[in-house]
């Protein structure tokens, strides 16, 4: 059976541990592997991207491969060709298909019909590559994952869901504090849902946030969302109730003054820029595992 990476739930604990260990090796020696030499990896973008595109494209080149970057409007998908037919065609040319899009069902359908690995670079429901980078960042900081507590404050979205899936697999407690109207729907079993952001952050090893208005959200709801999320802003006051050694995390892009203050975003307690770099290293380890 072909292996895919769509939600993170495809991994077991041992495989996750091995993947993170390999990511640390690749970070220490970025050009130490040529596992994708003369292999082409398709990168399909249905949405704008900075970290995802840069980290995948650079990582594939570092592994000796060629990233074939396309936007969905450059493919016949934009003219009505089916996801199934697209999967059949791409599978005959590339070693893996990575896609950043909206609907989770489109990625599941791509995986059903592809004969090469499919990697979810981002959907409305899941962001598993980001969660891998989050775990690597926490592991580097604390030397372990099991027993850590991470407080995610803000929108119950794809980032929160993936963090709970993979964080739970790693033995972490993942608390997700959101306003009642913006709670995480269909939460993973490991997620601890809360409404009070200070209760979630109390004693936590890391406090994590994301934007208040995602690309998939209706822009007409912006003012309502800003009002609802204001108590969930990641600032020095919220960090004060976390553990003394706690770090701040954000998957980016950030909007200083909204979901996070500039003082935290650029301060000494954040590991946000390390977190962004770690996307490349975990994705290289993932590609080696699935393709190399």
Q: Per residue in 28-44, pLDDT tens?
A: 999 999 999 999 999 99
Answer whether residue 292 shows pLDDT above 80. no
| Residue from 248, 281, 259, 292 nearest 136 by CA | 281
What pLDDT was estimated at residue 213? 84
Choice among 40-49, 71-80, 172-181 with the minimum mean pLDDT: 71-80
CATH of 130-276, one of 3.30.565.10, 3.40.1350.10, 3.40.50.1370, 3.40.50.300: 3.40.50.1370
Whether residue 1 has pLDDT greater than 60 = no
C-beta separation of 224 from 201 below 8 A: no
What sign does the dihedral 84-90-92-95 (CA atoms) show?
A: negative
**% of the chain with per-residue pLDDT over 70:** 98
Whole-angstrom distance, CA of residue 238 vs CA of residue 256 = 15
Rounded alpha-carbon distances, angstroms, from residue 113 to 83, 95, 107, 109, 179: 8, 14, 10, 7, 39
Mean pLDDT of 106-115: 97
Residue spans of the domains in the chain: they are 13-127+279-290, 130-276
Could you tell me which residue, 111 or 47, shows the higher pLDDT? Answer: 111
pLDDT surpasses 70 at 2: no
**Half-sphere CA count of 76, side-chain side, radius 13 A:** 9
Instruction: Answer yes or no: CATH 3.40.50.1370 is held by domain 13-127+279-290.
Output: yes
pLDDT band at 115; cut points 50, 70, 90: very high
- By annotation, the residues acting in catalysis are 100, 127, 130, 210, 251, 279
Same CATH fold, 130-276 and 13-127+279-290?
A: yes
Q: Does the structure show a pLDDT above 70 at 48?
A: yes
pLDDT, tens digit, 9 for 90 and up, residues 278-291: 999 999 999 999 99
Model pLDDT, residue 221:
79
Given a cut of 60, whether residue 126 has pLDDT beyond it is yes
Higher pLDDT, 19 or 47: 19
């Amino acid at each position: 059976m072909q292996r895919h990476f769509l939600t993170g739930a495809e991994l077991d604990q041992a495989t996750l541990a091995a993947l993170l260990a390999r990511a640390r090796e690749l970070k220490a020696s970025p050009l130490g592997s040529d596992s994708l030499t003369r292999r082409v990896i398709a990168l399909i973008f249905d949405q704008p991207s900075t970290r995802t595109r840069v980290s995948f494209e650079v990582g594939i080149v570092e592994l000796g491969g060629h990233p074939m970057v396309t936007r969905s409007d450059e493919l016949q998908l934009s003219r009505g060709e089916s996801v199934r037919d697209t999967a059949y065609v791409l599978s005959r040319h590339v070693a893996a298909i990575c896609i950043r899009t909206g609907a989770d069902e489109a990625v599941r359908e791509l995986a059903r019909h592809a004969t090469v690995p499919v990697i979810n670079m981002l959907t409305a429901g899941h962001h598993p590559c980001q969660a891998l980078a989050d775990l690597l960042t926490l592991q580097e900081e604390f030397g372990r994952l099991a027993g850590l507590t991470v407080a995610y404050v803000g929108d119950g979205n794809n980032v929160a869901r993936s963090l709970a899936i993979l964080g739970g697999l790693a033995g972490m407690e993942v608390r997700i504090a959101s306003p009642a109207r913006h709670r995480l729907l269909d939460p993973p079993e490991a997620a601890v849902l809360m409404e009070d952001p200070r209760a979630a952050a109390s004693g936590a090893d890391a406090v994590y946030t994301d934007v208040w208005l995602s690309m998939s959200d209706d822009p007409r709801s912006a003012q309502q969302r800003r009002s609802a999320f204001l108590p969930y802003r990641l600032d020095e006051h919220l960090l004060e109730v976390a553990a003394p050694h706690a770090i701040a995390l954000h998957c980016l892009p950030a909007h200083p003054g909204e979901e996070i203050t500039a003082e935290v975003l650029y301060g000494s307690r954040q590991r946000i820029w390390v977190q962004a770099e770690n996307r490349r290293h975990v994705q290289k380890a993932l590609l080696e595992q699935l393709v190399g």
